[in-house]
Structure 1
Amino acid sequence: MNLSGNITIYGEIRGSVSTHGSVQLAKDGKIFGDVKATAIQMNGYVEGDIYINGTAELLSNCELVGDLRYKVLNIQDGAQFSGRCEIINSEVDSD
């Protein structure tokens, strides 16, 4: 799924998500695939690698299984993360 704007996900997506905007994953939202975006706010489940040009926020109900590349990372108490994380200095191509 290639987008140019912001997206909020309440259901389930199987496949990659790529946008020049931000991704907001609701508490019951699920993504099975990679995500590329300028920012992400996760409060649901992600199984895949995430590449963020800006801020990645793992909220209290988030469960991430995969690697995370970001410029800024915020993790709330209760968030679960299984994978590697890496700070990036250059922009990630979201195409």
Structure 2
Amino acid sequence: MRVSRTGKVHGDISASDIHIGGNVEGDVVVENRAVLGEASLLNGNLTYKSLIIEEGAQFQGQCIILGNETANDDSQIGEEGFSSGLEDSPEHNE
């Protein structure tokens, strides 16, 4: 899908790929690649696998990367994976 430089979309978009050149007000979900062109303005959340943001593009919202389910999966971090650093401090050993 392509939104031209003079294009304006008010609503959510779902596509396999997108190139935004104009203004989009709404959430965008793409299965593959999203391109925010140099004159684009996106006001909404963006879900994608691959993202290109050209210089001059404006984006207000959250990025959600597809296919990265294990990035926030705490079950894969062992107990030794977290440390507060307090165990070795002199104040903690009193």
Q: Which runs of 5+ in 2 are unaligned?
A: 69-94
Runs of 4+ with deviation above 3 angstroms: none
Q: Which runs of 5+ in 1 are unaligned?
A: 1-22, 91-95
Report the AA paired with residue 31 of structure 1: V
SS of residue matched to 1:27: coil
- The structure in which a higher percent of residues are strand is 1
Tell which deviates more after alignment, 41-50 or 81-90.
81-90
1:88 Cα offset (Å): 0.6
For CA contacts below 8 A with separation 6 or more, give which structure has more relative contact order. Answer: 1
1:89 Cα offset (Å): 1.2
Matched, 1:71 2:49: yes
Identity, % of aligned positions: 40
Q: Give the distance between the partners of 1:50 and 1:42, measured in 2 at CA.
A: 10
The TM-score, its normalising length taken from structure 2, stands at 0.71
The TM-score, its normalising length taken from structure 1, stands at 0.70
Q: How many residues align?
A: 68
Q: Which residue of 2 aligns with 1:48?
A: 26
